[in-house]
Amino acid sequence: MKRTLLLILIILSVVACKKTRIEPEGPTDVRVFNNTDLTFDNVTVNTSGGEYVFGTVAPHQYSGYHRYEKAYPKADISLTVAGVEYSTPQQDYTYMQYMGQMKITYRIFIRSQALKELDTDVVAEGEIEGL
């Protein structure tokens, strides 16, 4: 009886110790796309995994990529257009799933001219090569 119980405990221990695959949080390579006819200056992106200033992004143009520790489908983004500051609403990352080890683009557009509010669509560009 003791042998059977011991054998069952060993089997359960081995099964319980089986590794489960956990996707890494990052890094994530991020760029921005200016999805307007206006020039964006001082484009700053905070992904909760770091903050970076992309600088000026011309109309309908992409910035270069910047590597963040982690990124989410939404980000805190601020910028200026002709000296007027615009920003996304502050993000709550509590229940958001991170993007993981991939290249993404935040396509930025103006949601409300009156409120000076931005919004984004995220586009997954593919996995980061070499990781």
Could you tell me what percentage of the chain is helix, strand and coil, using 3-state DSSP and rounding each to the nearest 5?
10, 45, 45
Q: Is residue 49 part of a domain?
A: yes
CATH number for the domain harbouring residue 114: 2.60.40.2890
Q: How many residues does the chain have?
A: 131
Q: Is residue 46 part of a domain?
A: yes
What's the number of domains the chain is made of? Answer: 1
pLDDT in tens, 52-106: 999 999 999 999 999 999 999 999 999 999 999 999 999 998 899 999 999 999 9
pLDDT in tens, 3-16: 665 566 666 565 55
pLDDT in tens, 43-57: 999 998 889 999 999
Q: Is residue 62 part of a domain?
A: yes
Q: Is residue 14 part of a domain?
A: no
Q: Is residue 63 part of a domain?
A: yes
Q: Is residue 18 part of a domain?
A: no
Q: Is residue 38 part of a domain?
A: yes
Q: Which two tokens stand for residue 49?
A: 């995994």
Q: Which two tokens stand for residue 79?
A: 């910028």
Q: Is residue 11 part of a domain?
A: no
- Which structural domain range is residue 107 located in? 23-127
